[in-house]
Amino acid sequence: MKRTINLFLAAFIACFSAGAQNLSLSTVVIDPGHGGTDPGAVSRDGKTYEKNLTLDIAKKLSDKIKADCPGVKVILTRDKDKTVALNDRAAIANRVNAGLFISIHINSTAKSSPNGYSVHVLGQSSKKDRDLFAYNMDVCKRENSVILLEDDYTTTYQGFDPSDPESFIFMQLMQNSNLEQSLDFAQMIAENLKGGPISANRGVWQDPFLVLWKTSMPAVLVELGFISNSTDLDALKKDAERDKIATRLCKAFKKYKAAYDGSVALDVEVDAPAEKPAEKQAKEKPADKQVQEKPADKEKKPADTGIRYGVQIFAGASKLDPKDKAFLGYTPVIIDNGKVFKYIIGVDPSLEKARENHTKIKEKYPDSFLVKIDGDTTSRAK
């Protein structure tokens, strides 16, 4: 794929800009996968289509959220059997300034034995030394291949080719700015689906799904069982079982919303049972040396101890060089919570000073937000 450096940097910064500034999760977009001319996965007998299952579960989830959370606006990317381009699904969520994006799908494979649910977020593709890496890439290619049905897809998706490995390499570099929150919600979904109609948990994965690529808010794609597996299919064909699935998804949503609205450091809540990453971070001497470097002091004068405030511009699964062009000349404070690296600039002991810094920083990073730094943890600053 041929791209100019300027195009790459612009897209890179856009994908890294971080998160909603409104601390109240007031709008959620639910995306029923496929639809219209795109049936999605089809059962072996040809009678059950993924597009119909996803629409029904999405509608059920929408109704439950509206009933349990009256203050939340719920928007469906489609409410009937119609074709919606992948690019347009993300655009809908961005246009309404949604605080969360949930894409619902049903899985499929050539073999009949695989079963269970999985939850995916945009990010570095899963490690190649894991058994399911190749399988996950096949899932990505299948879900992304729908763009071939769209006119002029090479322009709309910046030359992305679902059959070209280089396209996936490019997407792996375009880390989701809201990776941490997406992972938190994905874990909540995985936990709440346990013991339900689709009982096997295949885990939470980071993968290059196009429908998640251009969303500017926390986003997940959930594969609710295999249409190619007889046990999963039997459950999915029953209205009562689909309703149970929607109920479990709604519980995950309410848990995430409660934490989000309370400006809680979700990484602390989810990872509380195992604090190993935090211990490792505390022992890392190189991080202390970085603070002593004179160039870094120009950006971050405060010591690394005590409460500080700053502007989080993005988060990613890979650690970037502080001199990377993505930082536009700023020297970041890098926080590693064991799941993602958070990049924070404009750090100061004073919240008011951090707010002043944010005013200037927003000109370059429109979706950046204020955070409170306490040691190796961060939370949104009100």
We report the CATH number of the domain holding residue 344 as 3.30.70.1070
Diameter of the chain by CA atoms? 68
Residue 144 lies inside a defined structural domain of this protein: yes
Are 353 and 303 in a shared domain?
A: yes
Q: Clarify whether residues 292 and 206 are in a common domain.
A: no
Q: Do residues 182 and 224 share a domain?
A: yes
292 and 331, same domain (yes or no): yes
Of 216, 211, 317, 170, whose CA–CA distance to 14 is shortest?
A: 216
Is there a single domain that holds both residue 194 and residue 289?
no
For 159, the domain range is 5-261
CATH number, position 108:
3.40.630.40
Choose one of 261, 289, 322: the last residue of a domain: 261
266: in domain: no
Cα 122 from Cα 193, distance rounded (Å): 20
- Check: CB of residue 55 under 8 Å from CB of residue 63: no
| Residue 332 covered by a domain | yes
Together in a domain, 106 and 39:
yes
- The amino acid sitting at 370 is L
Q: Quote the pLDDT of residue 363.
A: 86
The pLDDT score that the predictor gives to residue 65 is: 98
Is residue 92 located within the same domain as residue 161? yes
Q: Are residues 228 and 349 in the same domain?
A: no
Cα dist. 247→59, 254, 310 in Å? 11, 11, 38
Please tell me whether residues 294 and 245 are part of one structural domain: no
Beta bridge partners, 144, equal none
pLDDT value at position 146? 43
Tell me the backbone φ, ψ of residue 77, rounded to 5 degrees: -70, -25
Residue 246: CA count within 13 A, CB half-sphere: 25
In a domain, 294, yes or no: yes
36 assigned to some structural domain: yes
Domain final position from 234, 261, 288:
261
Give pLDDT, residue 317. 64
Same domain for 244 and 328?
A: no
> Concatenated DSSP letters for 330-353?
---EEEE-SS-EEEEEEEES-HHH
Give pLDDT, residue 381: 82
Number of domains making up the chain? 2
Confirm whether 269 is domain-assigned: no
Distance between CA atoms of residues 360 and 370, nearest Å: 12
CA dihedral (89, 94, 98, 100) in degrees, to 10, reads 60
Per-residue pLDDT of the chain (382 residues; tens, 9 = 90+): 434 334 344 444 444 444 434 458 999 999 999 999 999 999 999 999 999 999 999 999 999 999 999 999 999 999 999 999 887 888 898 889 899 999 999 999 999 999 999 998 876 554 444 433 344 445 444 444 443 444 443 433 344 444 544 444 334 434 445 777 888 999 999 999 999 999 999 998 876 666 566 677 888 999 999 999 999 999 999 999 999 999 999 999 999 999 888 743 343 333 333 333 334 444 444 444 444 444 444 444 444 558 999 998 877 766 888 888 778 889 999 998 777 788 899 999 999 999 999 999 988 887 788 999 998 888 888 7
Per-residue pLDDT at 213: 66
Do 73 and 200 share a domain, yes or no? Answer: yes
Same domain, 225 and 337: no
Query: Which of helix, strand or coil describes residue 58?
Result: helix
Q: What is the pLDDT of residues 155-180, one digit of tens each?
A: 333 444 445 444 443 344 344 457 77
